[in-house]
Amino acid sequence: MEIHWLGGRTFLVINLAPIGCYPRFLAEQSNNLYLDESGCKISYNNAVNEYNNMLKDALQQTRKDLSGANVIYVNTNAALLNLYQNPKSHGMQHGITACCGQGGGPYNFNPQVFCGSSKEINGQTVRATACSDPQNYVSWDGIHLTEAANKLMTYAILSGSYNDPPFSLHQYCDIQPIG
């Protein structure tokens, strides 16, 4: 409210991401019974969806409280879920596998060894290293997105295709791709 009082009139409110698709949390999963068809944890994503629905409902009241303001709900969850579930349709190869990690397997994530570090485990030094083709991955280190995925997310947000109500930043500024 203070920003509104100071003159702010447009607010982008970003919802929570589908953490059930993060390699960090998927590496904990030992039973595939609780995964959806994309390999994401159903219970985690259901909890996120419940929160996001409450957020969206709360924003209805915020819109009433902040007269003259644009309060835009940005559904990054849907955009990210699309990336995780359909990486190939976005020019990537790996949705739920971390580029920078240790352990290989479907998630390439070891909670004991984070990206760029090494650790002695059972008398052996292991190192979490980066893949040679990060542009083909959604997940950088099991938690964060790669630069390529962040770029796709940025385009989705700026285009307004995941905004409620629809709101495109193109009408306010000349958005050009970098690099």
Q: What is the pLDDT of residues 21-67, one digit of tens each?
A: 999 999 986 666 799 988 999 999 999 999 999 999 999 999 999 98
Percentage of the chain modeled with pLDDT above 70: 92
Residue 8's pLDDT band (cuts 50, 70, 90): confident
Reported for 83-90, long-range contacts at CB under 8 A and 24+ positions apart, including other chains, are 83/138, 83/149, 83/152, 83/153, 84/18, 84/21, 84/38, 84/40, 84/138, 85/21, 85/38, 85/40, 87/136, 87/137, 87/138, 90/152
Side-chain-facing half-sphere of 88: CA atoms under 13 Å = 1
Whether the model clears a pTM of 0.75, i.e. scores above it, the answer is yes
pLDDT at residue number 30: 65
